[in-house]
């Protein structure tokens, strides 16, 4: 599978299957055909889209993810493959039985990587991480001192330095709307990696919400949030005008997630990095290793 993200937001379209290919038909525009193995994430945004049932079954069989968007163009739901790995039952059982110390140790690694990624983002913008790398080294098992929260208070103030009143709130407009969209696409990529590793997306290591079916995806995406953050900075930094979540902005946010990332000393796609994270987590649950693979931001 290649790392292709298709966002159907510009035109009405009908999607069907022909000769094993995804067919996208649009009025007065050329027909598009795509192998399902090339589609990593399919995002349904436009209000006039129609699908045959075979589109979803073929996409799921190929390991792809479907993201359904609401009337605002914001992702509202995910469709994921049911069968992600031939040893799925064994891994589900190990995941459900994972002791609290193991989950705390995994969360420690995730938050260290997240705060280090935030430090790297601030250095890229300002030449200074404002102490975030030092905070990253202080994250304990389970993050009992809430270093994540301490880092966030510094990070958002410095990230959008032109707006000292900025508050990260998913229900607020402006930059928050762009962040929400980018994070939702990132979440879909993380959810695909979780299922591909034979893990259950509902069994998180830290996030807890009885109404959230993708808790583990929320956990795994944390270290990569700064990729979206930097894209939003680039799209909205003065003297640029306030950006709406239009097709052009969406394409720019998606493009940021297609850039190579440094992972375990190599340049890899975000899809590959998250797949390796999820696979290494499965090995931790099975008792085959102590820690998971994580990005090592420098």
Average pLDDT over residues 273-295: 93
Residues 278 and 180 in one domain: yes
Q: In this predicted structure, which of 30-34, 53-57, 140-144, 235-239 has the lowest mean pLDDT?
A: 235-239
Whether cis (ω within 30° of 0) applies to the bond prior to 104 is: no
Contacts of 151 (CB under 8 A, 6+ apart): 114, 115, 118, 132, 135, 136
Is the predicted pLDDT of residue 291 greater than 70, yes or no? yes
Give dist(CA 183, CA 181) in Å, integer. Answer: 5
User: Domain boundary residue among 60, 79, 98?
Assistant: 79
- Is 15:46 a contact under the CB 8 Å cutoff? no
What CATH number does the domain containing 211 carry? 1.20.120.920
Residues 135 and 262 in one domain: yes
User: Domain boundary residue among 79, 107, 126?
Assistant: 79
**Domain assignment of residue 43, given as a range:** 4-79
Residues 53 and 142 in one domain: no
Percent of the chain whose predicted confidence (pLDDT) is above 90: 64
Residue 67's pLDDT is 85
Q: What is the DSSP string of 200-244?
A: -TT--SS---TT-S-HHHHHHHGGGHHHHHHHHHHHH-TTSPPPP
Residues 35 and 108 in one domain: no
Q: Is residue 297 part of a domain?
A: no
Q: Is residue 228 part of a domain?
A: yes
pLDDT tens-digit readout, 131-158: 999 999 999 999 999 999 999 999 999 9
Q: What is the DSSP string of 78-138?
A: EE--S---TTHHHHHHHHHT--HHHHHHHHHHHHHHHHHHHHHHHHHHHS--TTHHHHHTT
Q: Is residue 298 part of a domain?
A: no
Is the predicted pLDDT of residue 195 greater than 70, yes or no? yes
Q: In this predicted structure, which of 144-153, 154-163, 242-251 has the lowest mean pLDDT?
A: 242-251
Q: Is residue 74 part of a domain?
A: yes
The tally of domains found in the chain comes to: 2
Q: In this predicted structure, which of 77-91, 240-254, 276-290 has the lowest mean pLDDT?
A: 77-91
Residue 46 carries which DSSP code?
S
Residue 2's pLDDT is 59
Residues paired with 24 in a beta bridge: 15, 32
Is the predicted pLDDT of residue 84 greater than 70, yes or no? no
Residues 191 and 64 in one domain: no
- Nearest Cα neighbor of 227 from 194, 174, 284, 187 is 187
- Nearest Cα neighbor of 276 from 255, 254, 261 is 261
Is the predicted pLDDT of residue 189 greater than 60, yes or no? yes
Residue 92's pLDDT is 87
Residues 19 and 41 in one domain: yes
Residue 29 carries which DSSP code?
S
Residues 73 and 92 in one domain: no
Is the predicted pLDDT of residue 109 greater than 90, yes or no? yes
Q: pLDDT band at residue 261, thresholds of 50, 70 and 90?
A: very high
Residues 106 and 253 in one domain: yes
Residues 60 and 92 in one domain: no
Residues 72 and 126 in one domain: no
Token pair recorded at residue 177:
């709307």
What CATH number does the domain containing 24 carry? 3.100.10.20
pTM of the model: 0.83
pLDDT tens-digit readout, 40-83: 889 898 889 999 999 999 998 888 889 888 887 777 787 877 66
Q: Is residue 292 part of a domain?
A: no
- Is 108:142 a contact under the CB 8 Å cutoff? yes
User: Domain boundary residue among 25, 48, 79?
Assistant: 79
């Amino acid at each position: 599978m290649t790392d292709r993200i298709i966002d159907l937001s510009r035109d009405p379209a009908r999607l069907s299957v022909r000769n094993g290919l995804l067919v996208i038909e649009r009025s007065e525009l050329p027909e598009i055909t795509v192998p399902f193995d090339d589609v990593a994430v399919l995002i349904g945004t436009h209000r006039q889209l129609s699908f045959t049932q075979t589109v979803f079954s073929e996409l799921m069989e190929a390991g792809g993810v479907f993201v359904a968007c609401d009337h605002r163009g914001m992702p509202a739901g995910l469709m994921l493959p049911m069968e992600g790995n031939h040893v799925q039952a064994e891994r589900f059982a190990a995941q459900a039985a994972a002791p609290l110390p193991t989950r705390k140790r995994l969360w420690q690694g995730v938050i260290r990587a997240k705060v280090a990624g935030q430090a790297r983002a601030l250095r890229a913008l300002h030449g200074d991480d404002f102490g975030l790398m030092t905070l990253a080294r202080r994250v304990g098992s389970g993050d009992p001192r809430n270093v994540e929260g301490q880092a966030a208070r510094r990070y958002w103030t410095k990230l959008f330095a032109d707006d000292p009143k900025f508050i990260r709130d998913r229900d607020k407009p402006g930059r928050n709307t762009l962040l929400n969209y980018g994070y939702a696409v990132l979440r879909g990529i993380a959810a695909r990696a979780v299922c591909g590793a034979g893990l259950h997306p509902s069994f998180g290591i830290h996030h807890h919400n009885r109404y959230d079916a993708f808790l583990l995806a929320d956990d795994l995406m944390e270290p990569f949030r700064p990729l979206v953050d930097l894209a939003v900075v680039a799209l909205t930094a003065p003297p640029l005008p306030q950006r709406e979540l239009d097709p052009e902005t969406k394409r720019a946010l998606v493009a940021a997630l297609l850039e190579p990332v440094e992972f375990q000393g190599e340049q890899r796609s975000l899809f590959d990095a998250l797949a390796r994270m999820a696979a290494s987590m499965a090995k931790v649950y099975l008792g085959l290793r102590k820690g998971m693979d994580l990005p090592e931001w420098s």
